[in-house]
Amino acid sequence: MGIFDSGKVLKARCVGISNEGYGVARIEEESASENGMKVFVEDMLPGEKGQVRLTRTEKNVTYAVKLKATTSSENRVEPVCPEFLRCGGCQLQHASYSCQLRMKENLVRSCLVRLGHFPEQEIKDCMEPILGAREMYNYRNQMQYPVEYSREKRCVNIGLYERNTHKIVEHEKCYLADPSAEIVRGVAEIFFSDISRTDEARALRQVVVRSGVMSKELMVIFVIRKQVRIDGSAFATACDEALKKAGNGMRMVSIWTEERPSGMKWKNSKGVWTNIWGETTIREFLNNRIFRISPDSFFQVNTKQAVVLYDKIKEYLRLDGVLPRMLLDLYCGTGTIGIYCSDACHHMYGIESVESAVIDARNNARTNFIEDTEFFCSKAEDFDFGAMMPDAVIIDPPRKGCDEMLLKKLLQLAPSRIIYVSCNPATLSRDLERFFHMQEEGKIRYGIKKICPVDMFPQTTHVESVVLLSRKK
DSSP structure class, residue 178? -
Region class of 172: left (phi > 0), else alpha (psi between -120 and 50), else beta: alpha
Q: Residues 311-369: pLDDT tens digits? A: 999 999 998 888 899 999 999 999 999 999 999 999 999 999 999 899 999 999 999 99
Ramachandran angles phi, psi of 76, nearest 5°? -75, 135
pLDDT one-digit tens code per residue, 172-187 = 899 999 999 999 999 9
Domains and CATH numbers, the chain: 9-71 (2.40.50.140), 102-134+302-471 (3.40.50.150), 142-286 (2.40.50.1070)
The Cα angle at residue 164 between residues 160 and 170, in degrees rounded to 5: 30
Is 423 marked active-site?
yes
Alpha helices, DSSP H only, in 206-317?
Answer: 232-246, 303-317
pLDDT tier for residue 18 given thresholds of 50, 70 and 90 = confident
- Residue 457: predicted pLDDT: 96
In this predicted structure, what is the pLDDT of residue 269? 59
Residue 460: CB atoms within 10 A of its CB come to 18
pLDDT digits (tens, 9 = 90+) for 41-94: 989 999 999 999 999 888 888 999 999 999 999 999 999 999 998 998 899 999
Neighbours of 195 (CB within 10 A): 8
> Cα–Cα distances in Å, from 442 out to 411, 431, 432, 434, 436?
9, 18, 16, 14, 11
102-109 mean pLDDT: 94
pLDDT at residue 1, rounded to an integer = 39
Mean pLDDT of 412-416: 94
pTM: 0.92
239, 332, 341, 423: the catalytic one is 423
CA distances from 4 to 26, 64, 336, 366 (A): 15, 9, 49, 61
Give me the phi and psi of 431, to 5 degrees please. -65, -40
- As a whole number, the mean pLDDT across the chain is 93
3-state helix, strand, coil in the chain (%, to 5): 25, 30, 40
pLDDT over 60 at 4, yes or no = no
Q: What pLDDT is stored for residue 3 in this prediction?
A: 47
Looking at residues 366-383, what average pLDDT do you find? Answer: 95
